[in-house]
Amino acid sequence: DTGVSQDPRHKITKRGQNVTFRCDPISEHNRLYWYRQTLGQGPEFLTYFQNEAQLEKSRLLSDRFSAERPKGSFSTLEIQRTEQGDSAMYLCASSPTPAQGQETQYFGPGTRLLVL
Amino acid sequence: AQRVTQPEKLLSVFKGAPVELKCNYSYSGSPELFWYVQYSRQRLQLLLRHISRESIKGFTADLNKGETSFHLKKPFAQEEDSAMYYCACYNQGGKLIFGQGTELSVKP
Give per-residue pLDDT as tens, B69-93. 999 999 999 999 999 999 999 877 7
Looking at residue A59, its pLDDT comes to: 86
CB contact under 8 A, A56 and B100: no
What gap in Å lies between CA B49 and CA B40, rounded to an integer? 22
Tell me which chain A residues have a C-beta less than 8 angstroms from the C-beta of B52: 101
Whether A108 and chain B come into contact, CB under 8 Å, resolves to yes
CA atoms within 13 A on the CB side of B74: 24
Secondary structure of residue B42 in the 3-state scheme: coil
What gap in Å lies between CA B31 and CA B28, rounded to an integer? 8
CB contact under 8 A, B44 and A91: yes
Tell me which chain B residues have a C-beta less than 8 angstroms from the C-beta of A3: 43
Distance from CA of B87 to the nearest CA of A (A): 9
The residues of chain A scoring below 70 in pLDDT are 1, 98-102
Looking at residue B52, its pLDDT comes to: 78
Whether A96 and chain B come into contact, CB under 8 Å, resolves to no
Do strands A19-24 and A75-79 pair parallel, antiparallel, or not at all (unpaired)?
antiparallel
Looking at residue B30, its pLDDT comes to: 78
Which whole number is the average pLDDT over B46-56? 84
pLDDT of B53 higher than 80: no
Reported confidence tier of residue B32, pLDDT bands at 50, 70, 90:
confident
**Helix, strand, coil distribution of chain B in percent, nearest 5:** 5, 50, 45
pLDDT over 90 percentage in chain B: 73
Do residues B16 and B76 touch, judged by C-beta distance below 8 A? yes
What gap in Å lies between CA A41 and CA B4, rounded to an integer? 12
Q: Where are the beta strands (DSSP E) in chain B?
A: 3-5, 10-14, 19-21, 24-26, 32-38, 45-49, 60-61, 72-74, 83-90, 96-98, 102-107
Which of B3, B52, B95, B100 is the best residue to mutate to test the A interface, defined by the most A CB atoms within 10 Å of its own CB? B95
Looking at residue A96, its pLDDT comes to: 84
β-bridge mates for residue B107, sequence order: B14
pLDDT over 70 percentage in chain B: 100
Do residues A44 and A99 touch, judged by C-beta distance below 8 A? no
What gap in Å lies between CA A21 and CA A90, rounded to an integer? 9
